[in-house]
Structure 1
Amino acid sequence: MTAPDPPLLEFAFEAEVIHWRGPSPFFFAPLPAREADEVRRVSRAVTYGWGVIPVEAQVGGVAFTTSLFPKDDGYLLPLKDAVRRKAGVTAGDTIAVGMIIRPPRR
């Protein structure tokens, strides 16, 4: 098995969990402006379409993979129910997030 590629970006931030009540309700952690700017800088190299960015993230000791969604000049980190349950977080909680963006595998 080969080692993963080194990260293009690696950072940590705090965010308040929001509950989006759209047609498919979901929980997200909005990226702060500074981190969103950094993601935007590498977005063309890593997006797989529609502006979504694959990431490795960690919340409350729970590691997971997902994709950032672009929203209003920023990005939202989706928090699946399984991740939220393990980490014990819900809407309104402030969470610490660690995140890695790697170059796409070719």
Structure 2
Amino acid sequence: MRDPRPASGMRVDFTAVIYEWSARRNWFFVDVPPEPSADISDRPRMPRGFDSVRVTATVGATTWSTSIFPGGGTYALPLKRAVLQAEGIGEGDEIEIALVVHDG
């Protein structure tokens, strides 16, 4: 994976458990905790599809650009198959995540 480390942005570090989305098999996510989700939601930004927010995510040694999506009071971070494989992680694993939230 490429290393798109941004120069600035709100940083959020958290630990979460990987789960499979019940509506679609083989789609895996972690939830951003409620407090940082509220902070992210409160930041002004241009509207994007599905109210998504652009982020750079890091799990272990893997960094990638993606979006987080709101739902149920928190944001969900999708985990690409390549990330799961590169880090040797899967459903039910508790992982540490670093997000940089982009304003634009």
TM-score category, normalised to shorter length: 0.7 to 0.9
Equivalenced residue count is 100
The whole-number CA distance in structure 2 between the counterparts of 1:93 and 1:102 is 27
- TM-fit CA distance, 1:5: 5.2
Superposed, 1:85-96 pairs within 5 Å as: 85-96=85-96
Q: CA deviation at 1:51?
A: 0.8
Who is 1:33 aligned against? Answer: 34
**C-alpha distance in 2, partners of 1:28/1:94?**
11
Counterparts of residues 49-68 of structure 1 (less than 5 Å)? 49-68=49-68
Query: How far off its partner does 1:49 sit?
Result: 2.4
- Give structure 2 stretches of 5+ with no counterpart: 1-5
For normalisation by structure 2, the TM-score amounts to: 0.86
Who is 2:97 aligned against? Answer: 97
Structure 2 Cα separation of the partners of residues 57 and 99 of structure 1: 5
| Unaligned 5+ runs, structure 1 | none
State the Cα RMSD in Å.
Answer: 1.8
Instruction: Letter of the 2:18 partner, please give it.
Output: V
Give the share of equivalent positions with the same residue, in percent. 27
Is the Cα–Cα contact under 8 Å of residues 5 and 103 in structure 1 kept in the other structure? Answer: no
